[in-house]
Amino acid sequence: MSSQQKPAPDTATADATAGPRPWRLTYAAALAALEGAALVAGGLWVLVLGLTGDPDDRQQAVTLGITLVVLAMLPLLAARGLLLRRGWSRGPAVITQLMALPVAYNLLQADSMAIPAGIALAVVAVAALVLLVNGETTRALGIKGPGRAE
């Protein structure tokens, strides 16, 4: 490209960010942020208990706590991207929901107070998936389906 030529503006991105943010996109971002916050809280809880309590394996508890905090970055970054209408953010948000479903299933198989947590996680994951694959959300993020490239 010569120095006198200017690249054409990306009309898909301009169209996607025009107008108010759809409520489905806002709710999907809120659910992803909620999951990220829950992972941070759980990770910090495990980390503190691992450092101050008397765990069976202190190293394992600390590792789990740090891992949960680091994993929380995926849904938190996805939530931020969804709020800013970044097309890339839907992928990590969907992956987060798909990873949450087996966790919810395992919580539902427990014979304890984990069952309500499993129900809540399953409801949040399914609701977020429905919101993320909605056509209005897809258009707001500027995502084109197969065969729709211009």
With b meaning 16 or more CB within 10 Å and e meaning fewer, what string describes 9-26?
A: eeebeeebeeeeebebbb
Task: Give the per-residue pLDDT at 105.
Answer: 96
- pTM: predicted TM-score of the whole model, two decimal places: 0.81
Report residue 131 as tokens.
């919101």
pLDDT in tens, 20-40: 889 999 999 999 999 999 999
Instruction: Render pLDDT for 86-140 as a digit per residue (tens, 0 to 9).
Output: 999 999 999 999 999 999 999 999 888 899 999 999 999 999 999 999 989 999 9
